[in-house]
Structure 1
Amino acid sequence: MHSASQESLKPEVPVRAAASSTGAKPKKTAAMESLEDITYGSVAGVVGKYIEYPFDTVKVRLQSQPDHLPLRYKGPFDCFRQSIRADGFLGLYRGISAPLVGAAIETSSLFFFERIGREAVYASGFSSPDQPLPLPALWWTGAFSGAFTSFLLTPIELVKCKIQVPETEAGVVKAPLRPIPVIKDIFRHQGLLGFWHGQLGTLIREAGGCAAWFGCKETASKLLRDWNERHAETPAELEAMRSEGLPLWQQAVAGASAGMSYNFLFFPADTVKSRMQTTPIGDSAQKRTFGAETKALWKQAGIKGFYRGCGITVLRSAPSSAFIFMVFDGLKKYFPMQ
């Protein structure tokens, strides 16, 4: 999920003498590239999280409905209605502190590991460093990035999910949970490894989803660039298009398509993961494996059960992902770190 355009994937010629004689900027160091990825990725992730969080809360509540009781919510709109009536609109932002940290860590890690993946591809000799990576390689770097990021993300999502879904006792909703007590409770009952409960679901979602996220973003960007170049009327207009990159609305379209593909393709894995992570701490169901949780959901609701909340998730991912890419690419372009 590095820069929005393929032009950004072309490394600068590492010849210091040539750079000084032409006035061109020297190539950034790996440390500076990493600092940009982490800083700008964190900012972009926080912006995206504020946009999507109310929809994410509804999604988790729909996904985590128990398999031994009648469904509490009829659908996304009913879940919105009941949630706002019970807690007000701000209740949809319950537990956002941990996800904001998670969003910063997730997005910056995705950009960081994606660049590491590209460097690994160049080092393997699969592609020449003076050429942009082919699209299949960009799908692979996305999967590489998502796989590594999943190990950072699972503990954060575990805390988030437990806060987002209200606990009930004798039909009465308990007081909202807070991050620190939840963290202490998890450690007391499950130890350190308990924070990676649901890791397999996160791994499948992030590796597959991020392959689609980066891959679809770059695929859509390439199609839009080709379309722009075919419709250029003069050589000067063509050169301007190549130097300036995609216009803002096209960046948004490419980013939105990336977010929608990420969330739709591997949504069942996320559903199973959310069910595992929202079981009460100490509950016997907490011991269910990914396979056992999958079987229980299939037995209860069939294929439809795996897609509860999918529509609203795909819908909210379009603006969120578009803003993430636009913020990240804009910061990289207009505020480069030297």
Structure 2
Amino acid sequence: MSELQTLTPKPSQSGWRDFVAGSFAGMAQVATGQPLDTVKVRVQIDPHRYKGPFDCIVRTVREESIFALYKGMASPLIGIGAVNALLFAAYSKFKQIQSPFNGELEIWQIALAGAGADLLTLFPDLSLGAVNSVLASPVELLKVRLQAQYTPRSSSIPSPTLKQYKGPVELASHLVSTHGIRHGLFRGFWATFLREIPAYAGFYAGFEYTKRKFGGRHGVELGVGQLMTAGAVGGVCYWLSCYPLDVVKSMVQGSEKPQERFYVFKTIRTIYRQDGLRGFMRGMSPTILRTIPAAGATFTVYEFSMRALNKM
């Protein structure tokens, strides 16, 4: 990632720094991108309610208030910090595995390290940071379910028939008590896992490639503008690498029914039957607009946090 990540210290020395810096980066990501993320989720799950992303924003603010765009923020604000912390730590360790002597990796190796932060979920003995999907799946499930809640403030607008939850704790309790851990709190785990593999390959490769174009190699520290730009490119590459799978994940996690066997393939067929190939692109525009400042903030906060922590 940065010159500090290119020259990654041994994991035993830098693991806690990755964890702390990743936590700050995750919080910056959520705080920056939550409103447009809510628009993305609503358009993905209930496309026939809105004419498009802009209509979703207007109707959400008009019918529910501007604070409705921040629904579900508590879950990722707390959870994404831990997710990003372990993700960055796993990414650093996977780079260390590929280059024990801290040599500069090729871009394809950076992509492999990014994918490995999720792939290593299947091999937890290799890295504690490999449990990214295990953490990300319930965090995103709670976020998606709360974002999708429609709570009109006007009595003239029909009230939703589904039960409304006040926050992630109440929702998590309901899911576990009603459907158990696997089909409740971890609904959509495999959809999340499959999304994360190409997503983080694109995420880190896009960032590192752009950073190097700015001259961010050994011993060179990039400025805020350059880091924000490189982070934005990484974010765009993230979504271009995985977006159809994100639509599948949101549909699965937003469903009231527990998942069935082969639910990923069944959901893909359902989306295609309803809207064709364009159904897999629902909500793409607000997602790209959101990721530019959100991913830029994520990498910038991470980089500057690492610089500060490495001086301690």
* Structure-2-length-normalised TM-score: 0.87
CA distance in 2, matches of 1:159, 1:293: 19
Unaligned segments of structure 1, at least 5 residues: 12-27, 124-128, 227-240
Aligned 1:178-197 pairs, distance under 5 A? 178-194=167-183, 195-197=185-187
Unaligned segments of structure 2, at least 5 residues: 122-131, 152-156
Match of 2:207 among 200, 217, 225: 217
The letter of the residue matching 2:243 is F
Q: Which consecutive segments of 4 or more residues in structure 1 shift more than 3 A?
A: 28-32, 174-177, 241-244, 285-288
2:265 corresponds to: 291
* Structure-1-length-normalised TM-score: 0.81
Question: Percent identity, aligned pairs only?
Answer: 27
Is it true that 1:255 corresponds to 2:231 in the alignment? yes
Q: Deviations over 1:125-156 (max 9, x none)?
A: xxxx1521222111100001133312210011
1:237 corresponds to: none
CA distance in 2, matches of 1:208, 1:255: 17
The letter of the residue matching 1:219 is Y
CA distance in 1, matches of 2:2, 2:293: 15
2:125 corresponds to: none
Is it true that 1:246 corresponds to 2:219 in the alignment? no
Is it true that 1:138 corresponds to 2:138 in the alignment? no
SS at match of 2:301: helix
Is it true that 1:9 corresponds to 2:11 in the alignment? no
Is 2:11–2:92's contact at 8 Å kept on the other side of the alignment?
Answer: no
Match of 1:201 among 172, 191, 204: 191
The letter of the residue matching 2:177 is R
Is 1:272–1:294's contact at 8 Å kept on the other side of the alignment?
Answer: yes
Match of 2:288 among 298, 314, 321: 314
SS at match of 1:304: helix
Q: Per the alignment, do residues 189 and 335 of structure 1 end up closer, same or farther by CA in structure 2, a change over 3 Å counting? A: same
Q: What RMSD over aligned residues (CA atoms) do the two structures have, in Å?
A: 2.3
Shift of 1:286: 4.2
Q: Deviations over 1:58-86 (max 9, x none)?
A: 111000017xxxx1001111000111112
2:159 corresponds to: 172
Q: Per the alignment, do residues 33 and 242 of structure 1 end up closer, same or farther by CA in structure 2, a change over 3 Å counting? A: closer
2:78 corresponds to: 101
In our comparison, the structure showing a higher alpha carbon Rg is 1
Q: Per the alignment, do residues 251 and 167 of structure 1 end up closer, same or farther by CA in structure 2, a change over 3 Å counting? A: closer
Q: How many residues align?
A: 293
Is 2:198–2:242's contact at 8 Å kept on the other side of the alignment?
Answer: yes
SS at match of 1:246: coil
Is 1:263–1:314's contact at 8 Å kept on the other side of the alignment?
Answer: yes
Is it true that 1:62 corresponds to 2:57 in the alignment? no
